[in-house]
Amino acid sequence: MATLLATPPETPHHEDGLADEDTPFIFDAWYVVCLSDEIEAGKPVARRLLGINVVLYRTASGAVVAMRDRCPHRSFPLSASAIEGDDIVCGYHGIRYGPDGACKAVPTQKHAPKVMRVQTYAVRETAPMVWIWLGDPGRAATTALPPCEWATRAHGWALSAGSMTLHSNYVFLHENLLDLSHLSFLHKKTFGTPDYAAAPFSTDIGEDRIVVRRTVAPTRLPPLYADPLDIHGDAARIVTSTYHSPGLSVSAVVLQNLELPEGERTDHHIRTAQLLTPIDRDHVLYHFVIARDFVKDDAQTSETIHAGIKAAFVEDCFALENIARNRREDEAPFVERSITSDKAGVMLRRRLRSEALAERG
């Protein structure tokens, strides 16, 4: 006779060894904390990242300061406090802190205690992106930002940026970004085409990146690319998806007009910096910067492309939030199974898990 258990045994959602919502965060990495325009002079901004509440503000010179959003006195949020010059003055009892987190003045006493110090974090700004490092401070100085200089204003491509908060763990967004076979289905109403899923692709697993390349040719471009480029016949769409770090995945697209003779074809580039920042176990802050090198000076084209790509991201959001809901709510034993095209995503999830566990020692 079978033994009935009062509590069913814990069952994994997937094959062993893959990162999921129970995997610890990776702290030793650069993450985009907000967009440059979101931090205005004199106004502190609150963010929650990797389970930590952070406040950001600009000093008088415009430099960004990031510190714990919690006054060391009685935990009042510094994001609800006042910026005075380079300092932040707590809105509860008026204790003043400098941009290095040191206490500078306590209104009710002469002495500013040394122990009363707000934890600060390393920040770098490559507009329109503001990056933060929440891990080992010593490693921040020696770790370069993940590579996406083409997504900075200084590079000169046409840029647009946005952000969304997803009710999903960041691991699944990373996996989604490496798996573009879903374009033919989830994105069939936006920028997917029917030939996308079966197009040939290659996967390269490198030490510092995981790359999936997919060539869709000949194909027809979706209107958001076809119209500004005036490519309405046969075209090539070559997409490279690259995982660089827990905070950055890049989608790089090359578009070509195949109706032109080979020697006359131009490579048109459009790339998206997919900037992922875990908020907590069940939420991810998702910034994106879209950059292109064609029709660069036309604001209407920027708006149309931004709206088209964002509409696709909303479809991803729908998928990921409902996947997360299923994983949260459905309690009967269940194991996800992978297919051949999941190779890059599986490698990525193994890497995220092993990095997270290695950081914990």
Residues that bind ligand FES (CB under 6 A): 71, 73-74, 76, 90, 92-93, 95
Among 20, 175, 316, 342, binds Fe ion (CB under 5 A): 316
Minimum separation from the CB atom of position 47 to ligand FES (A): 19
State which residue, 73 or 104, has the beta carbon closest to ligand FES.
73
Give the integer Cα–Cα distance in Å for 47 and 57: 11
Instruction: Single out the residue of 56, 38, 39 nearest to residue 47, CA to CA.
Output: 56
Stretch that binds Fe ion, among 15-23, 167-175, 225-233, 316-324 (CB under 5 A): 316-324
In the numeric block, the tokens 């798996």 are attached to: 179
H-type alpha helices, 221-298: 223-229
Taking CB atoms, the residue at the shortest distance from Fe ion is: 316
- Considering beta carbons, is residue 76 or 350 the nearer one to ligand FES? 76
Q: DSSP assignment, residue 9?
A: P
Enter the DSSP assignment of 234. Answer: S
Question: Given the complex with ligand FES, which of 59 and 92 has the nearer CB atom?
Answer: 92
The letter for the amino acid at 180 is L
Q: Which is nearer to ligand FES, 92 or 153 (CB)?
A: 92
Q: Could you tell me which residues come within 8 angstroms of residue 177 by beta carbon, excluding any fewer than 6 positions away?
A: 241, 243, 249, 251, 274
* Closest approach of ligand FES to the CB of residue 77, in Å: 9
Q: Which of Fe ion, ligand FES, none binds 83 (CB below 5-8 Å, type-dependent)?
A: none
Residues 147-166 interacting with Fe ion (rule: CB under 5 A): none
Other CB atoms within 10 A of residue 157 CB = 18
Which does residue 316 touch among ligand FES, Fe ion, none (CB within 5 to 8 A, set by kind)? Answer: Fe ion
Q: Which does 73 bind (CB under 5 to 8 A by kind): ligand FES, Fe ion, none?
A: ligand FES
Distance between CA atoms of residues 285 and 169, nearest Å: 10
Q: Nearer Cβ to ligand FES, position 43 or 74?
A: 74
Q: How far is CA 313 from CA 35, 40, 46, in A?
A: 18, 27, 24
- Answer yes or no whether residue 179 interacts with Fe ion by CB under 5 A: no
Phi, psi of 184 (to 5 degrees): -70, -15
- Count of residues interacting with Fe ion (CB under 5 A): 1
Comparing CB distances to ligand FES, the nearer of 106 and 127 is: 106
CA pair distance 349, 178, nearest whole angstrom: 11
Residues that bind Fe ion (CB under 5 A): 316
